[in-house]
Amino acid sequence: MDVNRLPREVWGGAGAYERYVGRWSRPVAREFLARLNLPAGRAWVDVGCGTGALSAAILATADPAEVVGIDRAAGFIEAVRNGIADDRTRFEVADATQLPFAQAGFDVAVSGLVLNFVADPPAMLREMSRVTKSGGTVAAYVWDYAGGMGMMRAFWDAAIAVNPNDAKLDQAERFPLCQPEPLAALWREQGLQAVEVWAIDIPTVFRDFGDFWEPFLGQQGAAPTYLASVDAQTQERIRAYLENQLMADAAGHLALSARAWAVRGTVGGR
Ligand SMILES: C[S@@+](CC[C@H](N)C(=O)[O-])C[C@H]1O[C@@H](n2cnc3c(N)ncnc32)[C@H](O)[C@@H]1O
């Protein structure tokens, strides 16, 4: 299949997103914030806030003055408004590459698992830097599609084994940005200082094969969007391949792990 014929990732079904990967993005958000270790009382913007995994973690662990989240998917913004009741928060529909905020209005700009999905990542980073005060922090994380994000790696290995012609649709191929050197280079190219990249590893333990597989049928994100684009017979071959490859432990659980690459930098003087 030609990569240009694949529909763009679908986002906005909050329940399906939570079952697919939202449940794993929450522990990653907490690890990320622990490492940032920023003081209380800061104004944060969460770019591509989705269903609110990172915003909720900021509220729970960073004692912020305010958290403003934006996302392009109206369904997610509606869900996060319903899900987070805290008068320090505001959530708006907006594009990551055209933030509807004045220059230098925030102390911290963060983004979880978004950067590779925007058409122009440097433009997104420019905007995150623009809205952050001098001396403030701009930081983000993305899944390690090429290796450490076990559930997605297993999926694409199976999809390509079944359909070798679709190898170029693998998220590792589509998103070369999601590796330490390209992330650090992007941050430096945008003039950010004291740039640092690190790995975040979390366990992703599935109750059984159904708990692993069924969320891929929810059509949220790149792998489920791909799965929805192939015929029923191909879907079944991918499912069978995965069921055969993934080894359950004695309790029937599938114990995988997920790695994200995180990057931070400091906004220089203007
Ligand atoms: C994998 S989800 C991550 C959501 C959330 N940050 C989390 O950690 O669970 C990617 C998000 O990026 C959003 N997104 C993609 N492109 C965007 C853009 N150009 N502007 C704003 N949001 C965008 C999607 O709507 C989706 O909510």
Nearest Cα residue to atom 25 of ligand 1: 73
- Cβ–Cβ < 8 Å for 261, 178: yes
Beta-carbon contacts of residue 15 (< 8 Å; ≥ 6 apart): 218
Q: Is 135 exposed, middle or buried (0-12, 13-18, 19+ CB in 10 A)?
A: exposed
Residue 17 belongs to domain spanning: 3-266
| Distance from residue 71's CA to the centre of ligand 1 (Å) | 6
| Distance from residue 14's CA to the centre of ligand 1 (Å) | 12
Q: What is the pLDDT along the chain (270 residues), one digit of tens a residue?
A: 555 555 567 777 778 888 999 899 999 999 999 999 999 999 999 999 999 999 999 999 999 999 999 999 999 999 999 999 999 999 999 999 999 999 999 999 999 999 999 999 999 999 999 999 999 999 999 999 999 999 999 999 999 999 999 999 988 888 999 999 999 999 999 999 999 999 999 999 999 999 999 999 998 888 999 999 999 999 999 999 999 999 889 898 999 999 999 999 999 987
**Ligand 1 binding pocket, CB closer than 6 Å:** 11, 22, 25, 48-50, 53-54, 71-73, 76, 95-97, 112-114, 117-118
Nearest Cα residue to atom 13 of ligand 1: 48
| Distance from residue 239's CA to the centre of ligand 1 (Å) | 27
16: CATH: 3.40.50.150
Give the C-alpha separation, 30 to 264, whole Å: 15
Give the C-alpha separation, 156 to 145, whole Å: 9
Number of domains in the chain: 1
| Distance from residue 70's CA to the centre of ligand 1 (Å) | 9
**pLDDT of 94-104, one tens digit each?**
999 999 999 99
